[in-house]
Structure 1
């Protein structure tokens, strides 16, 4: 198989605009006209909506306030440390109006983790949520950042975003927003976004203004946005639709696909600060949400949680799953829960800012297990371990050329050279591409385990396990074995019904484990059996983007093995 080319990118992409200039100030042939009554963002709890003119005014006011009060200027670095908030995008775009750079931080970070990010990016200001304020102040102090340079979205003892907006709107302009030179959007840094850290210490990925702009246009062209390809009620993206803003805005999936692509499409975003499943079901009903952008663990809840039967989800018209592979059995279950939804997967990464593949708008259901097809303008190749190109249906590492590629890793030339090679982005993901160009993610290369010399993908076994009625959630990790090299071990969160049975009869523990083990043995080849055993947990550790923190459970599994060997 030679290089595979996605469709050519036919639409004009501006390379002299910043993100707010593109999103707030300009038009585009693929961009629908948003009716004036359709809000851009909706507050989940109170239902308050913010429309175009208000968000432009608040963005300008905050930019002017930041310039007046803190002298934020070109290339300064502002860290946003908050759960999803109705003013989150305003904070991003205000910073960009000033020519400064944004680094979004995980609001669940502890002081040490936030301090690492502050020092890495050389932050000059923190915009935090009151719920994260204590951590923000402690990290700022440790980084030598004065406490007055920590501001908050809502009212607190610190300066608030709203106060700065009002100051900025009531004062004379203190900054001049500049237009970028032709081509400058491709090199001017907009974000320093941190990689997930599931396999090591997070790295700061430098992303230009051009990258999310071109990725939004790629997605719009791929999804036929603003095209009359079908009757309006059957079109996937319609201005006036409503999407659940439950993905963390700080993550590349939420940052590009949710905040920027959805606003481009004229879709209102319900800003949901914290994910609680039953509350989320209430939000879907309350706001008449008809678009869901989710990750696999949330899909599991829709398929397994007993509360789902109390809600009518027939109004969901579109569900996109990303951030981690979604097993085909789960898709089959999900169709029964949301019978009217167009359901499929997308795939991307921080370094591609963001989407590389997405399921086609021409199909109601994406091919089960597939991450979709290449976006317009993307070139891909699959490289085997020996460096040769894989043929169709052969596994190898996915490498892509994509116009939205990141500029590299901040202050890490070695990692940059390893990942960005001669114009190719090495994804580190093991994939298969079929003759029809459907792309299937097998697993992270570093997560592939070797059993008797055979490669075993944890994601494959996890998909099988989730089809067992007693399994609510799971993560498969390797344990060392002197004979086989490694053996698969499954950590399992039990369905409430299984928990009740065990509470009534302790012998049920052994029966449930035996049933789960047999289920995998009945469905998988011998070397993929759970020879490492099954262990029960209350919850599977994940990062906010939904990726399994496999390394945490890998360490726990090894500790268990050592403990058993001493008994």
Structure 2
């Protein structure tokens, strides 16, 4: 048996070897730009298994049946992999038998990060269903819209969300089952079905799942994103999309996990919400496929989060900038808090090198701190910095099987160190937006490149730096807030004739929505009245911080709101 010192030396040697391999790859490929100025991944292509996500996740179950798959650090409630597999199968069978869910039917999941989340999602997939994830702090208006757009046949939630969902169903004139997870012994609300009874049903005939006929190319996940512009749209992600991205981030030089063995299991803190594709794919699906433990925090409270990082011996953390900033500055954080952390990956929005260094200074230890880049439409990861790079200003290089291109506003290809829109092509790119041919035409070029709507620069050796956003989404705490959605809500106010919304810098949120409102003739109201109107209809992070009354909204000849003009004049 190796001594502790020998293990440390062994790890150091492995790290040096990996870093040398990184350097050798990129020296051999001095220029990442190929014909037509296309940037190919420097990594070898990966093979993409021809299967469904649920089969992919469970394929190595026999290697870690007794390992923990998910656990709540507050209550200690959780599941082993073997238990999760059995419960999700029973739930899936009951979805088909009792609720008549059939192949391709959509089921909504409106949950915070509870230990049951993986069981719910896997059960839906095993039943042949499609999962659409809903933010649990959405209002009835937002839930109504997603249930209608996704044509959901059922919804899974917690007791505290039932009233919102019932209000949403009334608004939508829908009658679908509400399945509720019982987490604290309290009786479930009237008119709902208990998830626990469905999943713990020992008499259900699970052989009904043999009737499911789903393929790698079928849609399995239907998140909603604003894409490059406008209102939320259903993003059709296939089994192949998700599995491709899982295999891509298994590339040894970018992998963020350790192998699960008889003596080791990574502990991953899941503070990022599972309703977002970043956590759903990169954390849930991928980490389950590797037998890793997910520590699920249902509610973000700084002290609880920091205590859990330490007590759960968290060694892998995926985060967004607000979390990193908190970890660098909160009084309750100390080097002891982060004594087990080995890998920290920032995503969802860029983090400055200075902020990364402040966090590392607070941690007072060497760790693998990296950044990645992706979108809901790319399942989500496009690029990631390799191990040992140590450059916090970029988001790394293209993953295996991925091609990149930088173009100008006429889609002409640009070269190294030239700023333009980033285009992506690869197996992780979505099938398209659901029932939205115009959005698909706007988002894909004629030769199949996906337009990210982000301005970027690619260095000669293939390192990508995100420079700015072409799209007008507002990033609040890492969440996307589409101006068009807020403008639509504002125009519903009885005193508002027209409105425009832009993002403005915010000290702790990154950005915040600011509205410019044109009142109807003779209308009299005040900013607070309009803020309260919006507050009732949108999630808390979408709330408008400031309102300015103006005479008219500046628009182009085509009727497009000139947000740049508003920013120049008022921000």
Q: Could you tell me which of 253, 274, 284 is aligned with 2:299?
A: 274
Q: Say whether the 8 Å CA contact 1:81–1:126 is kept in structure 2.
A: yes
Give 2:246's aligned residue.
216
Distance in 2, Cα, partners of 1:163 & 1:242: 29
Q: Deviations over 1:176-196 (max 9, x none)?
A: 335758xx412x110111015
Q: Say whether the 8 Å CA contact 1:68–1:174 is kept in structure 2.
A: no
User: Does the C-alpha gap of structure 1 residues 210 and 197 become closer, same or farther in structure 2, counting only changes over 3 Å?
Assistant: closer
User: Given the alignment of the two structures, is residue 23 of structure 1 paired with residue 38 of structure 2, yes or no?
Assistant: no
Give 2:436's aligned residue.
412
| Alignment: residue pair count | 459
Give 1:113's aligned residue.
142
Distance in 1, Cα, partners of 2:310 & 2:434: 43
Q: Say whether the 8 Å CA contact 1:59–1:91 is kept in structure 2.
A: yes
Residues 366-445 of structure 1 aligned to structure 2 (within 5 Å):
366-421=390-445, 422-445=447-470
Q: Secondary structure at the match of 2:223?
A: strand
What is the CA distance between 1:436 and its match in structure 2?
2.2
Q: Say whether the 8 Å CA contact 1:77–1:124 is kept in structure 2.
A: yes
Q: Secondary structure at the match of 1:75?
A: coil
Q: Secondary structure at the match of 1:275?
A: coil
Residues 309-348 of structure 1 aligned to structure 2 (within 5 Å):
309=334, 311-338=336-363, 339-348=365-374
Distance in 2, Cα, partners of 1:109 & 1:403: 31
Q: Say whether the 8 Å CA contact 2:180–2:194 is kept in structure 1.
A: yes
Q: Secondary structure at the match of 1:65?
A: helix
Q: Deviations over 1:250-298 (max 9, x none)?
A: 1010110010112223220011111111110011122111111100111
Give 1:518's aligned residue.
none
Distance in 2, Cα, partners of 1:156 & 1:369: 49
Give 2:4's aligned residue.
none
Q: Could you tell me which of 188, 212, 223 is aligned with 1:156?
A: 188
Q: Secondary structure at the match of 2:68?
A: coil
Q: Could you tell me which of 204, 213, 225 is aligned with 2:234?
A: 204
Question: What's the TM-score once normalised by structure 2's chain length?
Answer: 0.74
What is the CA distance between 1:216 and its match in structure 2?
0.1
User: Given the alignment of the two structures, is residue 126 of structure 1 paired with residue 155 of structure 2, yes or no?
Assistant: yes
What is the CA distance between 1:142 and its match in structure 2?
2.6
Q: Say whether the 8 Å CA contact 1:316–1:340 is kept in structure 2.
A: no
Q: Say whether the 8 Å CA contact 1:9–1:218 is kept in structure 2.
A: no
Give 1:355's aligned residue.
381
User: Does the C-alpha gap of structure 1 residues 438 and 345 become closer, same or farther in structure 2, counting only changes over 3 Å?
Assistant: same
User: Given the alignment of the two structures, is residue 40 of structure 1 paired with residue 69 of structure 2, yes or no?
Assistant: yes
Q: Could you tell me which of 253, 268, 277 is aligned with 1:252?
A: 277
Q: Deviations over 1:446-483 (max 9, x none)?
A: 349xxxxxxxxx99xx9xxxxxxxxxxxx9x9xxxxxx
What is the CA distance between 1:557 and its match in structure 2?
6.6
Q: Secondary structure at the match of 2:507?
A: strand
User: Given the alignment of the two structures, is residue 94 of structure 1 paired with residue 123 of structure 2, yes or no?
Assistant: yes
User: Does the C-alpha gap of structure 1 residues 557 and 402 become closer, same or farther in structure 2, counting only changes over 3 Å?
Assistant: farther
Indicate the RMSD between aligned Cα atoms, in angstroms. 3.3
Distance in 2, Cα, partners of 1:162 & 1:393: 55
User: Does the C-alpha gap of structure 1 residues 493 and 556 become closer, same or farther in structure 2, counting only changes over 3 Å?
Assistant: farther
Specify every segment of 5 or more residues in structure 1 that has no aligned partner in the other structure, as ranges: 28-32, 226-234, 449-457, 463-474, 478-486, 495-540
User: Given the alignment of the two structures, is residue 65 of structure 1 paired with residue 94 of structure 2, yes or no?
Assistant: yes
Q: Say whether the 8 Å CA contact 2:222–2:234 is kept in structure 1.
A: yes
User: Does the C-alpha gap of structure 1 residues 185 and 242 become closer, same or farther in structure 2, counting only changes over 3 Å?
Assistant: same
Question: What's the TM-score once normalised by structure 1's chain length?
Answer: 0.74
